[in-house]
A and B are shown apart, each in its own frame.
Chain A
């Protein structure tokens, strides 16, 4: 399969038309402050700027991206800036739902694995413990006076334990996080694309 069909996942591409009289030198000079952040290195030739980022600061305006190429092409209608940036954060966020779905499957598998042994244990422990736990639950007189609801008598031991075990092996939270990351990916892919475009536009226009 051609990589171009999937690399939109972690690549952000775009192009911006420069002002008619703007030279590529002038355009790169204006963009340059963006690449003077900590952890960023860049190289520049007459029409191309290549950059790389490592351990970029959280407040770096381009922190989502780890590297990329900016190129200015001269056409008949004027110069155009083409850019192609890569982001490991986007790729990671795209894959994160798979990881959490994996955790969900693992949780279910562990639950199944454990069932036979705990059932036997329950049967053995039931008789001795059940009688003891049925005793009255104490309540401090201060709480009684202040009107707090009386504590519930503990239910049958076995039922309680089974419920607890079901909760322990519930894959729900893993599914929730898979969904959160899927949503975050969609938001991030659109938002960061737009933010980058706006950032380049603003840098190119302002002196």
Chain B
């Protein structure tokens, strides 16, 4: 495969990747279908913003957000069933059970662990040490500015954590498991080794004091933009949407079997962060995964980072068959 040159890199030399919006297929069908699949995403986003902006305090609560979140996921799963982007990504019973296991971990045991050693308690310790209070001036900003900043600060941190995972071997080990998924659907964001899920959830938002409504709005941004990252539905997302926001097209390139392609599109919500740092590749891919698309079992996903890490350590510091120490250095490759 020849691949396509994007900046300094050749994308798609190992596995097919479509590069450039003009080459990505559009939704086919009648004008009604085209209209729906063009305006669905912006409509939901603006409707949610309006809702959380104006909802009375008695409704603007976390429990409402959880309810809307679940309802939205069910709606998107239904859309995936009737309008799959790729037949090869179709949801099966086994995939659903596997995905929901990880979603379940996220809602139960990981949440509990996070409550003790996650970013919240860590920030409390740091604030206590420096005897500083939260940045309270934050609450004086307009609501939408607060909401955007909350989600942007988190996404900015996540971008660097994610990019670090692709560039530093100890962080790559827990993240590699997530790259063994061979198809995308909206629950796939939850699939990964628990160590990685913990790392990627760290943020510094807790240093700021903000209005509860702003947090709900920020959550709505994440839901109405970030969810589409793993969706198996084709949308004619408007140009401004895919310029600003991460889409399933971007993320499928990131999950491609092509090594160079997988080192792009690191952000979770705002793809313009990738544009700023030169890691954005506009396009899409259907063949996903590692090792030629080997599907990893849950058991291996749980143990892989540790067994692989151990293997590497043994290779590096262990003695070879001649009784000599080895000095093999794994070569680092920059992301851009």
Contacts and interface: CB of A to CB of B under 8 A. Distances in A.
A and B found bound together: yes
A58 interface: yes
A158 B105 CA distance: 30
B278 interface: no
Interface stretch (B2-10, B107-115, B192-200): B107-115
8 contacts: A63-B92, A64-B93, A107-B112, A143-B143, A148-B54, A149-B57, A173-B108, A181-B101
Interface stretch (B74-82, B149-157, B170-178, B291-299): B291-299
A107 B54 CA distance: 35
Interface string B58-85: 0010000000000000000000000000
Contacts of A59: 88, 90, 92, 183
Q: What are the 5 tightest A-B residue pairs by CB atom distance, in nearest-first order?
A: A177-B104, A173-B107, A103-B108, A142-B142, A140-B142
Given A137-B211, A143-B143, A149-B54, A174 B108 contact: yes
B93 A192 contact: yes
Given A56-B295, A59-B92, A107-B108, A151 B100 contact: no
Nearest to A107: B112
Interface string A73-113: 00000000000000001001100100010011011001000
A55 B97 contact: no
A191 interface: yes
Contacts of B109: 103, 106
Interface of B: 53-57, 60, 88, 90, 92-98, 100-101, 103-104, 107-109, 111-112, 115, 139-143, 182-183, 211-213, 293-298
Contacts of A64: 92-94
A188 interface: yes
Contact of A138 (B100, B140, B295): B140
A104 B104 CA distance: 12
A181 B56 contact: no
Contact of B108 (A55, A100, A140, A143): A100
A188 B143 contact: no
B95 A58 contact: yes
A183 to B, nearest CB: 11
Nearest to B57: A152
Contacts of A137: 139, 211
Contacts of A151: 57, 211-213
B12 to A, nearest CB: 22
A168 interface: yes
A17 interface: no
A177 B111 CA distance: 14
Contact of A96 (B57, B101, B293): B101
Main secondary structure of the interface of B (DSSP, over half): helix
Contact of A177 (B55, B100, B139, B211): B100
Contacts of B298: 92
Given A149-B56, A168-B115, 4 more contacts: A96-B97, A173-B111, A177-B100, A177-B104
A146 B50 CA distance: 11
Nearest to B70: A176
B140 A140 contact: yes
Contact of A110 (B92, B112, B211): B112
Contacts of A152: 57, 212
Contacts of A149: 54-57, 60
A180 B100 contact: yes
A55 B142 contact: no
B104 A180 contact: yes
A62 to B, nearest CB: 10
Nearest to A64: B94
A106 B182 CA distance: 33
Contacts of A147: 54
A148 B108 contact: no
A57 B54 CA distance: 47
B97 A184 contact: yes
A157 to B, nearest CB: 14
A57 B295 contact: yes
A107 to B, nearest CB: 6
B295 A55 contact: yes
Given A138-B140, A177-B107, A58 B92 contact: yes
B111 to A, nearest CB: 8
A89 B108 contact: no
